[in-house]
Amino acid sequence: MVDRFVGTYGDFEYLAKAQFLKAKGLLYLADLGLGLEPPDGFTEEQQWAYLDVLEEQVFPTYYAYEEQGVERLVEVLDFAKRNRRYGPVVEQTQVELNRRRPEEYPALKKELIARPSTTDLVLPEPMTEPAPEPEPNSDAPEVEALGGAS
């Protein structure tokens, strides 16, 4: 339903955000399932048995949801690359991928923009002493003035 609604308009931002939200829904569901823990009051043996059941029968389903969510996030990045576009949704996607798979998707680096500070400016000051006069060079040949001597 989301694809049909957003596909009507064909806007990059709406399409990317819709795919991002669909991925986040799957990832939220995966987090809920993978966050299951044994109830309070279980003995240590009961907790181990409960965790074994979770690992064997429950978690594989939620691992699949997480994998689908990550695939959708990658689709958002591919969509942005194909369209040569960038925006806040793409940045959110990269942050989420880094959170889920930091080895495959490294964290974004912040761009530092250098701006000169007004306190760092050096203002020109007048020279306190006049520059020394050059000494006449007696070895140098004399140069005629323009237009010759009359």
The full set of domain ranges for the chain reads 2-100
Q: What number is the average pLDDT over the span 124-136?
A: 71
Alpha helices in the chain (DSSP H): 2-9, 12-34, 44-53, 59-83, 88-100
The band of 12, judged by pLDDT with boundaries at 50, 70 and 90, is confident
Please answer whether residues 66 and 100 qualify as being in contact, where contact means their C-beta atoms are separated by less than 8 angstroms. yes
- In degrees to the nearest 10, what's the CA dihedral of 19, 20, 26, 29? -150
Q: Residue 18 and residue 5: Cα distance in Å, rounded? A: 10
pLDDT, mean over the chain: 82
Give residue-wise pLDDT tens across range 19-75: 899 999 999 999 999 999 998 999 999 999 999 999 999 999 999 999 999 999 999
pLDDT for residue 140 = 57
Reading phi first (left if > 0) and then psi (alpha if -120 to 50, else beta), residue 148 is in left
Q: Residue 76 and residue 18: Cα distance in Å, rounded? A: 9
Give residue-wise pLDDT tens across range 31-46: 999 999 998 999 999 9
Percentage of residues in the chain with pLDDT exceeding 70? 77
pLDDT for residue 23 = 93
Percentage of residues in the chain with pLDDT exceeding 90? 44
Q: What angle do CA 99, 1, 100 make, to 5 degrees?
A: 5
Judge residue 76's burial from the number of C-beta atoms within 10 Å of its C-beta, 0-12 exposed, 13-18 middle, 19 or more buried: buried
Judge residue 50's burial from the number of C-beta atoms within 10 Å of its C-beta, 0-12 exposed, 13-18 middle, 19 or more buried: middle
148 pLDDT higher than 60: no
Q: What secondary structure letter does DSSP report for 140?
A: S
Q: Residue 6 and residue 75: Cα distance in Å, rounded? A: 16
The band of 3, judged by pLDDT with boundaries at 50, 70 and 90, is low
